[in-house]
Amino acid sequence: MVDQALLDKMKSIVDDPSAATLDDIKHLLEFSKQISKENDDIKEELEDMDIVVQMIITDKDAKFWLKAQEGEVDVGEGDVEDPSFTFSASFDTAIGMLTGEIDSTSAYMAGEITVEGNLQDAMAFQELNELVMEAYEDLTE
């Protein structure tokens, strides 16, 4: 079960992304980790996934990572070894992408994010994030 305090934090981030802090990226990623253990659609998506994402928040000098491997999600702060791809974005763009307010593909095409590495894995990460946000919506209806 997703931790209630984390779910409450998610609500505040999604309701007002402009008030988000750098710690809220950790909360969004932790929610991805927790919900992936209980949502069947996410579990199914993770079965064949093997991606390691390095996230660089360009205007906050911060780095985060997410691994989706062997049917599980793990997250952390800092550098990760051998990322499948690295995306770099401003804080506002990263929060928007992680909350589903900003479409990753549109942001990429507009030059708001840069992606280095495997673009197919980047698209798989976007799909995973969309499923996470759908699961969030289901929990908060």
- In sequence order, the 6+-apart residues with CB closer than 8 A to the CB of 47 are 71
Q: How far apart are CA 40 and CA 57, in angstroms?
A: 30
pLDDT (tens digit, 0 to 9) for every residue of the chain, 141 residues total? 789 999 999 999 999 999 999 999 999 999 999 999 999 999 999 998 999 999 999 999 999 999 999 899 999 999 999 999 999 999 999 999 999 999 998 999 999 999 999 999 999 999 999 999 999 999 998
Superfamily of chain region 4-140: SCP2 sterol-binding domain (3.30.1050.10)
Structural domain boundaries of the chain? Answer: 4-140
Nearest one of 63, 48, 47, 36 to 129, comparing CA atoms: 36
Query: Which residues 6+ apart lie within 8 Å of 127 measured at CB?
Result: 45
Task: Compute the distance between CA of residue 60 and CA of residue 88 in angstroms, rounded to an integer.
Answer: 11
Distance of CA 18 to the CA centre of its chain: 17
d(CA 46, CA 116): 22
Which residues face 77 on adjacent strands? 64
Question: What's the pLDDT at 2?
Answer: 87
Q: How far apart are CA 34 and CA 32, in angstroms?
A: 6
* pLDDT, position 42: 94
Residues 6+ apart with CB under 8 A from 71: 43, 46, 47
pTM assigned to the model:
0.93
